[in-house]
Amino acid sequence: MALLRSIAISSNKTITLARSARSLTTATLPPLPYSYDALEPVISGEIMMLHHQKHHQTYVTNYNSALELLHTAMDKGDVSAVVGLQSAVKFNGGGHINHSIFWKNLRPVNAGGGEPPHKKLGWQIDTDFGSFNALISKMNAEGAALQGSGWVWLAFDKELKRLKVETTANQDPLVTKGATLVPLLGIDVWEHAYYLQYKNVKLEYLKNIWKIINWEYAGEVYEKEAQ
């Protein structure tokens, strides 16, 4: 008994050593699938450049910093530090997730941006909102009414098998509103997303962004998740 127990204890220590060899995968800024000015006149090249190279890059950089600190805290078994890091992980990790989706949600007009959704997603929109225009009205209203910084989402609820419009605050990813929610389309309503061009008139930005929405991508995600 005692021999077995001491072998078990020593193997626990070996397992602990193996934990330190645990690897860390860091994030990188994804390239934009189009040039910075390709979404003009809807979103200016200046905004796209700053939004991608400065804002999104900063989320990636700070997420990686938080991950390194988290990795160390976990190695040390420092529960207080692990919990203390969650705010930075959520904000910066969320910023990275959200913006990575956003760049795919947009598309230059000459590459199909703005073309309405067809097939399954088109029908689902009619089923759940009455019409395509009703969905746009709803998203614009929720985006305009959002207090402070955040995102407005077209979400697919995998469990209820229906579409929903949701908002999240700051850089909270859609999943914080429900574990079964899949983001099809997200619109950034932080002031940095539009201010240089639209100033305080958030609603103008929202009305115009539909001209460059990439419904093809949203349709692909929907069809994959709705199986």
Partner 1 sequence: MALRSVVSRKTLAPALRHYRSLTTFTLPDLPYDYGALEPAISGEIMRLHHQKHHQTYVTNYNKALEQLDAAVSKGDAKGVVQLQSALKFNGGGHVNHSIFWQNLKPVSEGGGEPPHGALGWAIDKDFGSLEALVKKINSEGAALQGSGWVWLALDKEQKILKVETTPNQDPLVTKGVSLVPLLGVDVWEHAYYLQYKNVRPDYLTNIWKVINWKYASEVYEKESA
Cβ nearer to partner 1, comparing 76 with 192 = 192
191 lies in the site for partner 1, by CB under 8 A: yes
65 lies in the site for partner 1, by CB under 8 A: no
User: Quick check: bond before 33 cis, omega within 30?
Assistant: no
76 lies in the site for partner 1, by CB under 8 A: no
Question: Residue 212 Cβ, how far from partner 1 at the closest point, in Å?
Answer: 22
**Dihedral sign computed on CA atoms, order 47, 195, 141, 146:** positive
- Cα 85–chain centre separation: 20
29 lies in the site for partner 1, by CB under 8 A: no
Cβ nearer to partner 1, comparing 190 with 215 = 190
C-alpha–C-alpha distance, residues 62 and 89, integer Å: 8
Compute, in degrees rounded to 10, the torsion defined by CA atoms 125, 182, 227, 138.
-10
Give the total of residues touching partner 1 (CB under 8 A).
20
Cβ nearer to partner 1, comparing 84 with 130 = 84
Cβ nearer to partner 1, comparing 47 with 212 = 47
Could you write out the three-class secondary structure of 93-144? HHHHHHHHHHHHHECCHHHCCCCCCCHHHHHHHHHHHCCHHHHHHHHHHHHH
Cβ nearer to partner 1, comparing 195 with 210 = 195
83 lies in the site for partner 1, by CB under 8 A: no
172 is in an annotated binding site: no
Alpha helices in 29-106 (DSSP H): 45-50, 57-76, 79-84, 86-105
Q: Name 5's bridge partners.
A: none
170 lies in the site for partner 1, by CB under 8 A: yes
Amino acid identity, residue 10?
S
Binding site for partner 1 (CB under 8 A): 50, 54-55, 58, 87, 91, 147-150, 169-171, 190-192, 195-196, 199-200
Q: Which residues are annotated as a binding site for Mn(2+)?
A: 51, 99, 188, 192
